A and B are shown apart, each in its own frame.
Chain A
């Protein structure tokens, strides 16, 4: 079967190559500029298993008038020349998708702000997944959803440790935590992919992003929250401050990064590996390995180091910790830095697993709250338990429900958890009253 498909793809490719010049003459809109020069919008359409999707129509417009159209080739590639640098709208014509393939997010059929620079090719990406009627067995679907859910859950755990610990040591519910996550992904994007950046390999860029995330968390505490604590601002006032901070940062990111989602330039196109029941991409395995290693290191640091013990003591009872000689302010500063670093690393992992976008962290904020509350707000290991649980439940729900309900499922778990066991799985009752 696979072999026959290859022959078919090869045949289509040969036909396309042979017909290409004639094609260009018959359809002036597909190549308005000589090939090879000038600006263009390009991309490759891949389905959920990273197989190319041919014969899908892509339309480019600029605020109304049509600029050009193209049909994806046998390798899934498409290229549409545009006359000049500027902002374009790129639409995938959903009706032309083959059976069994659908957009993962139907609202992203049109990328409304694709900015093309003079003389450069601008890659765009449409995230495709399985539509109705794909021929994968039930057990395989389940196994794949479980491994996806595990990956999502572990990322969620890494990203939300800071949220839980900062609450634990200071009592602050940080509604701007998502912006720490986005920050990490943006720094990594700048360091690795952006034309203006140094062009580091992504692995180095992830380390840089983690370090910058730590510094960003440090700055949050030193420049904003420590002074506010000194002024004895109330809990509710601080929550409103974090809302304002989040709104400010998110729109600042929008200003510098633009609205369109963009992938890192490495590891974007990966075929699923065949591991029996599951077929993860190599980068999925890498993400799971990194997340597990980080979580293990975190657990050991919390158990075995003096600082980790101090952190748990402050989270447990601040006054008691202070009176037994622990420098609480220093512990809080370390918690902010560590939490910021882990959130940034989580952001890089989300960007690697999906794409980088200015509001990716805000989208994760409520699932992160769900993870820490289900696990136990303020507890050290709560985010681990809660994150994996939320990841698995929301991902597995897509077996029965449409993926667009995924976030709804995560939040429904959160609401049920708050009603039934507000202290979370690992929390204790007195924290929440």
Chain B
């Protein structure tokens, strides 16, 4: 068994563009769920409007930086549209309405024809050449042996991790400010915050918009890395994955998303590698699992991890137990 190879793949995945992008998306979710206690189950919709805002703008002839601005602006609008009607509702209603709104939005994006603005199921490709033209790294492979990135990947993940550090730093400061203390007060006891004269609704809305804009940055990064957007990349399972790695890292902990994402991608890629190697060498009989089933096993593990973590260690790796065992409303 090529153990070193599997390990190298796992490390590459843990530091790769997907891990960086998911970490950024989860920083946004942490603002919603970890700090404010909002059960947003439509987070993937923020990634989608970010990605599509960028891709459509470039597709219509504008430069990429303008596209990215449009993407973030679209997420702000979506945050207001999600929040204004639903933030007065209880947690489970908010969860249902956000997941439903995300699916309605995806259906609309998906339903256009090839010539429509969104290109329907065909999606939009090759809109991020501006980004790769700026790549300062010369062609080549960077790394050691199997643990190596191409110059394009290196450029994407340099930008990705930089953005992650910036948003983590920004959110950390915002949460320690008086504004952030109100958010956490709302998470602990909404009525108490209200009785102190705080406009709970306005704070929740600001939290939703901020987290959504951060989610859009993640969506833009993923879209640029793949040079492609497609409505079927934004299924609800994306949101659930973000929850899994947020709870793994520690909801309400500032470094939780980054750590959760790194550990998550390492474990997932490592399991994938071990399963594939096991099947290739015949240690796992193909009557039990074959290579096409590995994806299913991955999501089974995600689901199981989500359940077991929530039951036995709801604070994850970095969180505080007394902060996450609240019955948010």
Contact = CB atoms under 8 A, between A and B. Distances in A.
A254 to B, nearest CB: 4
Contacts of B8: none
B327 interface: yes
B92 A245 contact: no
Interface residues of A, number: 44
Contacts of A236: 37, 39, 91, 326-328
Contacts of A175: 95
A366 interface: yes
Contact of B104 (A107, A245, A412): A412
Contact of A235 (B91, B110, B305): B91
A248 B311 contact: no
A373 B97 CA distance: 10
Contact of A369 (B100, B111, B325): B100
A248 B307 contact: yes
B90 A433 contact: yes
Contacts of A422: 89, 93
A238 to B, nearest CB: 8
B108 interface: yes
Given A246-B303, A432-B89, A414 B100 contact: yes
Consensus secondary structure, chain A interface:
helix
Interface size class of B (residues with CB under 8 A): 35 or more
Contacts, number: 139
Given A240-B243, A251-B296, A366 B103 contact: yes
A408 B104 contact: yes
Contact of A173 (B96, B110, B293, B329): B96
B306 to A, nearest CB: 3
A138 B168 CA distance: 59
Given A243-B243, A402-B111, A408-B108, A248 B300 contact: yes
A247 B310 contact: no
A87 B293 CA distance: 12
6 contacts: A240-B243, A241-B306, A369-B100, A402-B111, A415-B97, A419-B85
Given A246-B303, A251-B297, 18 more contacts: A173-B92, A236-B327, A236-B328, A241-B306, A247-B302, A248-B303, A248-B304, A249-B303, A252-B300, A254-B296, A255-B296, A255-B297, A366-B103, A370-B100, A405-B107, A415-B100, A415-B101, A418-B85
Interface of B: 37, 39, 41, 85-86, 89-93, 95-97, 99-101, 103-104, 107-108, 110-111, 121, 237, 240, 243-244, 247, 289, 292-293, 296-300, 302-308, 310-311, 314, 324-329
Interface of A: 87, 107, 113, 173, 175, 228, 233-237, 239-241, 243-252, 254-255, 366, 369-370, 373, 402, 404-405, 407-408, 411-412, 414-415, 418-419, 422, 432-433
